Amino acid sequence: MPNLKSIKVRIKSIKSTQKITQAMKLVAASKVRKAQIRVLNSRPYSHKIVDFTLRTVKSISPSDRQEFPLMSRREVKAVGVVIISSDRGLCGSYNTNNIKKAIKRIQELESAGIAAKLILIGNKANNFFKRAKVQVIDSFTQLPAAPTVELANLIAQSAEKAFVTNIVDSVEIIGTDFISMLRNEVYIKKFLPVGDLNQNNENPKNASEAASFMLFEPSLNDVLNSLLPLYLSNIIFHALLEANCSELASRMNAMSNATKNAKELIDLLTIVYNKARQAAITQELTEIVGGAEALK
């Protein structure tokens, strides 16, 4: 017969856990709404910056591009991979999916004879890859609750420095796009060199026509020196916003499922407890009746 005391203690423990998961679900739900608003508001601006930058780059001849360090293309011997994860867990498969995507990409690069060098964002990626035999260029942990432009600038500067100093010949980002509260998608996007992206859906003919009428004031150098740092920071900042929103949505769903599972387990244990309690009462009654019959 099950021990009544142990069942009761277990029910009490699960109820305490249920309160925690319910509270975490409510906190994540309140935060994810704000994060969703930030993502939706940032998308038009981010897309415009990317579109304008790529149109500007297309207006420059390939030979002129080589004069700008962030646009120079060379033989790829090493690729920098920026991996975005979270500092905390309890967010379902969010971090697992990102790390799996990163591992697959690293294996693809190594099989092609290309070295992978990592820039890690978040404790989860940092803790995982510090045990792996992959070179880590830089890492960023203790992330703010909401992504900041200052953090994006630091990450962009780290990636830019690695590219300009020839530590890597290309830079990619592995992050998560927020689709809905129940869905997000892990992606890989090229980051550097600038202009080596397939993010522009514009018709090539229209793009070339637009580029032929593009004038730069006061000069091309001044325009690009202002535009390229803004472009790099924008790419990173928007990726952080998308990742933050995806993380919160994943945590809300994970805590919702945990709360539901706790309730089901409490109901099941309550039935087991009642059955065991009824069996104990029945046994006591049987012993009393048996003792009374023996005294007759």
Return the SS3 of 106.
helix
Closest CA to 91 of 247, 223, 290, 275: 247
DSSP letter string over 27-92? HHHHHHHHHHHHHHHHHHHHHHHHHHHHHHHHTS-HHHHTTSGGG-----SEEEEEEE--SS--ST
Quick one: tokens of 270? 């309550």
Q: Cα 89 to chain center, whole Å?
A: 11
Q: Which residues are catalytic?
A: 91
* Residues present in the chain in total: 296
State the Cα–Cα distance between residues 153 and 240, nearest whole angstrom.
Answer: 11
C-alpha dist (Å) from residue 186 to 121, 157, 233: 15, 24, 20
Type and span of the H or E element at 287: helix 220-295
Query: How does DSSP classify residue 177?
Result: E
Closest CA to 21 of 85, 87, 94, 90: 90
State the Cα–Cα distance between residues 57 and 52, nearest whole angstrom.
Answer: 9
Closest CA to 126 of 107, 146, 147, 98: 98
Contact 122, 139 (CB under 8 A): no
DSSP letter string over 235-266? HHHHHHHHHHHHHHHHHHHHHHHHHHHHHHHH
**In the block, residue with structure tokens 């029910």:** 11
